[in-house]
A = this chain, B = another copy of it.
């Protein structure tokens, strides 16, 4: 592809995206296809000879778009929305064009230094502890996902608790214990499995039925009981904004218990943490000052194209101690001087792209004030949904609204609740997901997109009401 051809096709790709966004409102949110429908439209083998790029664009419309559930659709309310934005898309495009590897400082210094600065900026915007800043013993890094952040937090915790022994001779000598509430994200158990502890090493702590937040007294009892039995607490995870209902654990109270046993405190605020850009929504992070590590995902609610999970540690030595390896071909003067950070030692992967550009672009083109406005918009729309639920006797709230997440159900029962949701999803009008709270089925409606309007919420609510007539 010549430079002229790249410009032409590049402009066409940009225009394709603009047109795709413009078309979203008319498309069913959830793909209407059945398993195998996309595969069937594709040839069995790669072409022997080159095809023009236009053929790829044509196939996006013909093959891909019908097979998409449109995560950028204004009526996508399922899971937690993962929002892209123009600035982030272009930031990531520039990263692809630069094509630099930031595995160590020396392989492309700007990749590391821009990331350090942007993570400091973002830590300040969220009012995270000073200890997380890159100019002290801690620091931040962009991980691909919160799952990886939780996993690396656990590896750091094992490194610290074992005095460096775990990386040398493994985790087998000690019966380690990891704690999270019954509402902790599934990645906590996955982390324990991957780290060689096994799922049995995770002790799940009950929650308060009303708030779904961890019962801290139960945590205290569990840890004491485990220590008594010869087990060794290594990490406690506090969830700020659980996936199911957006429940907020009491970080300060959990920190106190974790400290008693010297356990690492990891705060998983993957979805809700970004709301702390608003001073009035910073409360749920109270106590984060005592955390050993913290993660929140700009790639969920904060307009930054996946993947961008921002992760901070209080003491980067525990993290790099768990993960560093220096083969001969990566030795260099800058690393040996100790003046630089080599991000390769901060995550499982060696290679890393210049992910900071997209977050830098988002922080700058929205400004912190613009991000506050975005967060407040989502919370206001969720409040409106809560009002709608309160105004219709057939529905009831299951938990209090948590930021931009509303969890509700049909009073008629579980089957009716799930059937009504499925009817809306199948119609393509909107897309919602479900959960189970205290044993009953519930519908989750999470607002995230900057394109979602009051009209989108009202239209979704009308669809639910109609479904309630048929299924309620």
CA distance A195 to B158 in the complex (A): 12
Q: Which of A205-213, A433-441, A464-472 is near enough to bind chain B? A: A433-441
For window 1-60 of chain A, which residues contact chain B by CB distance below 8 Å?
1, 3, 5-7, 9-11, 13-18, 20-22, 31, 33, 35-39, 42, 44-53, 55-57, 60
Is A83's beta carbon under 8 Å from chain B? yes
Is A190's beta carbon under 8 Å from chain B? yes
Q: Judging by beta carbons under 8 Å apart, are A100 and B68 in contact?
A: yes
Q: Judging by beta carbons under 8 Å apart, are A168 and B51 in contact?
A: no
Q: Judging by beta carbons under 8 Å apart, are A79 and B350 in contact?
A: no
| Residues from chain B with Cβ under 8 Å of A415 in the complex | none
Q: Judging by beta carbons under 8 Å apart, are A351 and B299 in contact?
A: yes
**Which residue of B109, B193, B326, B369 contacts A49 across the interface (Cβ within 8 Å)?**
B369
Q: What would 28 A/B residue contacts be, using CB atoms closer than 8 Å?
A: A3-B21, A6-B86, A11-B14, A13-B94, A17-B93, A36-B113, A37-B109, A38-B114, A46-B124, A51-B364, A56-B364, A64-B114, A68-B109, A71-B108, A82-B99, A82-B351, A84-B96, A92-B96, A96-B305, A99-B305, A144-B144, A145-B351, A147-B349, A167-B199, A168-B200, A170-B200, A171-B198, A190-B350
Given contacts A35-B340, A200-B168, contact A122 B363 (CB under 8 A): no
Q: Which of A221-229, A327-335, A382-390, A455-463 is near enough to bind chain B? A: A327-335
Q: Judging by beta carbons under 8 Å apart, are A22 and B3 in contact?
A: yes
| Residues from chain B with Cβ under 8 Å of A168 in the complex | 198-200
Is A367's beta carbon under 8 Å from chain B? yes
**Which residue of B16, B47, B71 contacts A367 across the interface (Cβ within 8 Å)?**
B47
A449 CB to nearest B CB, Å: 10
Q: Judging by beta carbons under 8 Å apart, are A186 and B327 in contact?
A: yes
**Which residue of B105, B148, B329, B435 contacts A444 across the interface (Cβ within 8 Å)?**
B329
Q: Judging by beta carbons under 8 Å apart, are B35 and A329 in contact?
A: no
Is A88's beta carbon under 8 Å from chain B? yes
For window 369-417 of chain A, which residues contact chain B by CB distance below 8 Å?
369-370
Q: Judging by beta carbons under 8 Å apart, are B171 and A171 in contact?
A: yes
Count how many chain A residues have C-beta atoms less than 8 Å from C-beta atoms of the other chain: 152
**Which residue of B92, B97, B243, B363 contacts A46 across the interface (Cβ within 8 Å)?**
B363
Q: Judging by beta carbons under 8 Å apart, are A93 and B94 in contact?
A: no
A111 CB to nearest B CB, Å: 8
For window 312-366 of chain A, which residues contact chain B by CB distance below 8 Å?
322-323, 325-329, 334, 337, 339-340, 348-351, 353, 357, 360-361, 363-366
Is A63's beta carbon under 8 Å from chain B? yes
| Residues from chain B with Cβ under 8 Å of A20 in the complex | 97-98
Copy number of this protein in the oligomer?
A: 2
Given contacts A15-B7, A305-B96, contact A67 B110 (CB under 8 A): yes
Is A151's beta carbon under 8 Å from chain B? yes
**Which residue of B38, B327, B367 contacts A110 across the interface (Cβ within 8 Å)?**
B38
| Residues from chain B with Cβ under 8 Å of A171 in the complex | 170-172, 196, 198
Is A215's beta carbon under 8 Å from chain B? no
| Residues from chain B with Cβ under 8 Å of A147 in the complex | 348-351
CA distance A170 to B172 in the complex (A): 8
Q: Judging by beta carbons under 8 Å apart, are B365 and A306 in contact?
A: no
CA distance A111 to B334 in the complex (A): 41
Given contacts A46-B368, A99-B84, contact A31 B108 (CB under 8 A): yes
Closest B residue to A12 by CB, please name it: B90
Q: Judging by beta carbons under 8 Å apart, are B196 and A197 in contact?
A: yes
Closest B residue to A337 by CB, please name it: B35
Q: Judging by beta carbons under 8 Å apart, are A53 and B10 in contact?
A: no
Given contacts A18-B3, A348-B190, A363-B47, contact A334 B35 (CB under 8 A): yes
CA distance A93 to B84 in the complex (A): 12
Given contacts A31-B109, A350-B147, contact A189 B325 (CB under 8 A): yes
Is A91's beta carbon under 8 Å from chain B? yes
CA distance A7 to B13 in the complex (A): 10
Is A155's beta carbon under 8 Å from chain B? yes
Q: Judging by beta carbons under 8 Å apart, are A93 and B365 in contact?
A: no
Is A419's beta carbon under 8 Å from chain B? no
A133 CB to nearest B CB, Å: 11
Given contacts A69-B108, A435-B328, contact A198 B167 (CB under 8 A): yes
Closest B residue to A422 by CB, please name it: B333
CA distance A38 to B354 in the complex (A): 14
Q: Judging by beta carbons under 8 Å apart, are A306 and B99 in contact?
A: yes
**Which residue of B3, B67, B98 contacts A113 across the interface (Cβ within 8 Å)?**
B67
Closest B residue to A340 by CB, please name it: B35
